[in-house]
Amino acid sequence: MKKVSFCGISGSGMSSLAQILNLSGYDVRGSDRDFDLGRNLSNKETLQKTGIKIFPQDGSAITDDLDFVCASTAVEDTIPDIKAAKEKNISVKTRPELLAETFHQYKYSVAVGGTSGKTTTTAMIGYILDKAEKKPCVINGGLLLDYEANTGIPNIIFNKGDICVVEADESNGSIDLYNPYISVVNNISADHKSLEELLQLFQNFANRTKHAVIINDDYDLCRKISHKKIISFSLKNPQADFYAANIKPLPHGTQYDLGGKTFTLNLIGAFNVANALAAFAVCNEFGITPYKAAEILQNFHGTKRRLEIIGTRRNITVIDDFAHNPDKIKASVSALRQYPGRLIIMFQPHGFGPMRSLGKEIMQEFVAGMAADDILVMPEIFFVGGTVSKDISSLDLINYAKTLGKENCFYFPDKTTAADFMIQEAKNGDRIVIMGARDNSLTDLCHNILEHL
């Protein structure tokens, strides 16, 4: 039995891999500084219930009999576990390296790429394949609402079959490690890299794809991708291989037509119909007809923090959302505006670098998408440490939004003060939306807001 220790095991990417290896027969252990600081203890307890052993992050997990250590990309070489592994000459693999290694062990590998929608599309593909009894292994970055009753953290679907489905992340370059059977490019829009860099990245991704590349025909850059077998999906072009029409918002979801038949999703927003089309295109390659896939997907409930309704009190609804780049923010605000009620949105930026490059474009999307009486609130930029230039502030972005004509926008030094303001401002029929990435406490903030309404 192989033995492995995960350094930074609580993160969504690390915990999913740790659980997959544990279920595959590995002896798995791990550590996380969050656990040592008393944070994310529910993850610690859940992982222990699966049989994974948790150690303090003091080097004690690193014993001579380990086959290798897997380290999160957020972990520094100075961490005791990593120092101990190097002193003992134990191999240290990064999370992307181990994921790629695991991925390539499967006969049919599906990698879902794109600057938006990867998590939901991966979840949709996995759900359809699982319910159609194709026995997929799915390694996801988000928590799957339909699998919360399973033992463990619900960011995986585990079956002993020959299909593996993963997210392919372009932001950290790990997409370059995958040689998939089928690849998906959901969209190409500004995020962590320039559009020119992204197009080359995704073309290289397509070049390494063995069977078929599935692209979103509604994006100009996606249409530039070449491959021997391109399969397209679209909400605009009826000539695409997979096309949905007559998209209508429902009280708790979305209705659409596919090939003359009407189906529903339990998710709001036209962009989720596009995600569904990508999933149908993948599943069709495994013998599941689009009609059958759409029928199965009617029971899919999505992933956490993707326009997830936390609850309603005093007729005020609290919503948790992962949107953090211009394209995601545009999609989320557009979907929310299809329903009645004023929006009170708190957006917490997740890094000084991203805000220097994308901050103004993000503000432009908020200003363009929000109604005059909607309120935008921003706490200071989320910072987890390190040596980074703090030469931009959320206050700069709020002031920029005001120059664009958005008067109802406010800066606060921290998210707690921002939440207090939103609670005071909220009235009957409003929707409070918490947006942002990387900060795991944002969901807790949603629950606190709901409790104090």
> Model confidence over 4-41: pLDDT tens digits?
999 999 988 899 999 999 999 999 999 999 899 998 89
- Spatial CA neighbour of 270 closest among 284, 288, 250: 250
For the whole model, what pTM was predicted? 0.89
Question: Is 134 in the same domain as 271?
Answer: yes
Question: Is 136 in the same domain as 15?
Answer: no
- For residue 303, being part of any structural domain is answered with no
pLDDT of 88 reads 96
pLDDT in tens, 319-346: 999 888 888 899 899 999 999 999 999 9
Q: Give the bridge partners for 91, in sequence order.
A: 68
Question: Is 132 in the same domain as 71?
Answer: no
- For residue 402, being part of any structural domain is answered with yes
- For residue 275, being part of any structural domain is answered with yes
- Rounded to whole angstroms, the Cα distance separating 14 from 6 reads 7
Cα dihedral across residues 44, 46, 47, 50: positive or negative: positive
- For residue 99, being part of any structural domain is answered with no
Question: Is 235 in the same domain as 322?
Answer: no
- Rounded to whole angstroms, the Cα distance separating 14 from 125 reads 21
Assign residue 405 the CATH number of its domain. Answer: 3.90.190.20
Question: Is 314 in the same domain as 437?
Answer: yes
- For residue 12, being part of any structural domain is answered with yes
Residue ending a domain, among 63, 94, 125, is 94
What stretch of H or E contains 73? none
- Spatial CA neighbour of 259 closest among 289, 303, 279: 289
Question: Is 42 in the same domain as 176?
Answer: no
Question: Is 151 in the same domain as 293?
Answer: yes
Pairing between strand 53-55 and 375-379?
A: unpaired
| Beta carbons of 173 and 100 less than 8 angstroms apart | no
Pairing between strand 212-216 and 230-234?
A: parallel
- Rounded to whole angstroms, the Cα distance separating 180 from 348 reads 34
393-402 contacts: CB < 8 A, separation 24 or more? 394/349, 394/355, 396/359, 397/349, 397/355, 397/359, 397/360, 397/362, 397/363, 400/359, 400/360, 400/363, 401/363, 401/366, 401/367, 401/376
Residue ending a domain, among 44, 76, 94, is 94
- Token duo for residue 339: 């329903």
- For residue 30, being part of any structural domain is answered with yes
User: How many separate domains does the chain show?
Assistant: 3
- For residue 43, being part of any structural domain is answered with yes
- For residue 302, being part of any structural domain is answered with no
Pairing between strand 230-234 and 242-250?
A: parallel
Amino acid, single-letter form, for residue 357: S
- Spatial CA neighbour of 193 closest among 170, 176, 209: 170
pLDDT of 73 reads 73
- Residue ranges making up the domain that contains 123: 104-297
Question: Is 109 in the same domain as 26?
Answer: no
Distance of CA 204 to the CA centre of its chain: 22
Assign residue 178 the CATH number of its domain. Answer: 3.40.1190.10
In the chain, which stretches have pLDDT less than 70? 74, 171-173, 190-193, 384-387
| Beta carbons of 85 and 23 less than 8 angstroms apart | no
Question: Is 279 in the same domain as 352?
Answer: no
- Token duo for residue 10: 């609580």
Residue ending a domain, among 94, 120, 152, is 94
Question: Is 139 in the same domain as 252?
Answer: yes
Assign residue 65 the CATH number of its domain. Answer: 3.40.50.720
Question: Is 80 in the same domain as 134?
Answer: no
pLDDT of 252 reads 86
Question: Is 327 in the same domain as 379?
Answer: yes
Q: Give the bridge partners for 166, in sequence order.
A: 111, 139
pLDDT of 173 reads 67
- Token duo for residue 358: 């994308």
